[in-house]
Amino acid sequence: MNKIGLFFGPLKGSVHRVAEKVKVALGEQNVEMISVNDASGSDMEKFDKIIFGISTVGKETWDSDYSNTDWSRFFPNISKVDFTGKTVAIFGLGDHVTYSSHFVNAMGVLAKDLLKSGATIVGKVDPSTYEFDESEAVMDGMFIGLPIDEDFESELTDERVSNWVNSIKPAFGL
C-alpha cells in the first residue's frame, strides 16, 4: 500500500495539531506528513491519495498581512499538478464566530482548484451541525471537507476528526 500524503500548513499551530490527529486516526504508518512550507508540485505527484489541511483567516487579512503565508506560496503548485486518478480529502480550520461570513472558505478555494485539476474529492460533511452564515466550502449542500473550529469548538474536534477519518478510510484503502 502506498502512503497517504498529508500536506498541511502552517506549522506548529492548530492545523498542525489536527493533522497529527488525522495521522494517528489513519494509522501513523499509513501517512507521510509534509508541510506546505517545504513542498512542491513534485511532492504531490508522488501520492495517489492526498489529504490537505488548510486554515482560513479573515478576508481582510488575506488581502494584506497574510499574502506571504506558506499556503499563499504553495497554492500555485496545485494548478501545475494533474490530479486525475488521485483521491483527495480536505480539512479546514476556521472561526465560525468572528468569521461566520467566510467560515473555512480556504477549503472551498482549494477544492475548486483541485477539481479543475482532475481530483476526486472525498470526505464531504453535512453542514447542519455547524453554525455559520456563509462558506465557499459548501458545494452542492455539503462541506467539501471537514471543518474544524479550534477557537470556539475545540471540544468537538476529536469526535469530528474520528467520524471524518472513518468516512474516508474506504476511499483511501484502509
Q: How many domains does the chain have?
A: 1
| Dihedral (CA of 4, 84, 167, 131) sign | positive
| Dihedral (CA of 95, 119, 112, 141) sign | negative
100: how many CB neighbours lie within 10 A of its CB? 15
- ∠ Cα 148 151 153 (to 5°): 60
Q: Contact 54/92 with Cβ under 8 angstroms?
A: yes
Which residue segment(s) compose the domain that 40 sits in? 4-172
The pTM score is 0.93
Compute the mean pLDDT over every residue in the chain, rounded to the nearest whole number: 90
- Model confidence at 66, pLDDT cuts 50, 70, 90, reads very low
Integer Cα distance of 118 and 115 in angstroms? 5
Cell output for 171: 476511499
SS3 content of the chain, % helix, strand, coil (to 5): 40, 20, 40
Please tell me the predicted confidence (pLDDT) of residue 61: 43
**How many H-runs (helices) and E-runs (strands) does the chain carry?**
6, 8
Please tell me the predicted confidence (pLDDT) of residue 6: 98
Percent of the chain with pLDDT over 70: 93
Integer Cα distance of 171 and 123 in angstroms? 9
pLDDT in tens, 118-158: 999 999 999 999 999 999 999 999 999 999 999 999 999 99
Please tell me the predicted confidence (pLDDT) of residue 67: 52
pLDDT in tens, 69-112: 778 888 899 999 999 999 999 999 998 988 888 899 999 999 99
Residue 26 parent element (H or E) = helix 14-26
Tell me the β-bridge partners of 33: 6
Please tell me the predicted confidence (pLDDT) of residue 102: 85
- Model confidence at 65, pLDDT cuts 50, 70, 90, reads very low
CA 105 to the chain's CA centroid: 11
pLDDT in tens, 29-49: 999 999 999 899 999 999 999
CATH number reported for the structural domain that contains residue 118 in this entry: 3.40.50.360
Integer Cα distance of 127 and 44 in angstroms? 29
Whether 1 has a pLDDT exceeding 90, the answer reads no
Sequence-ordered list of residues with C-beta below 8 angstroms from that of 56, at least 6 positions apart, any chain: 92, 93, 94, 95, 99, 102, 103, 104, 105, 106, 107
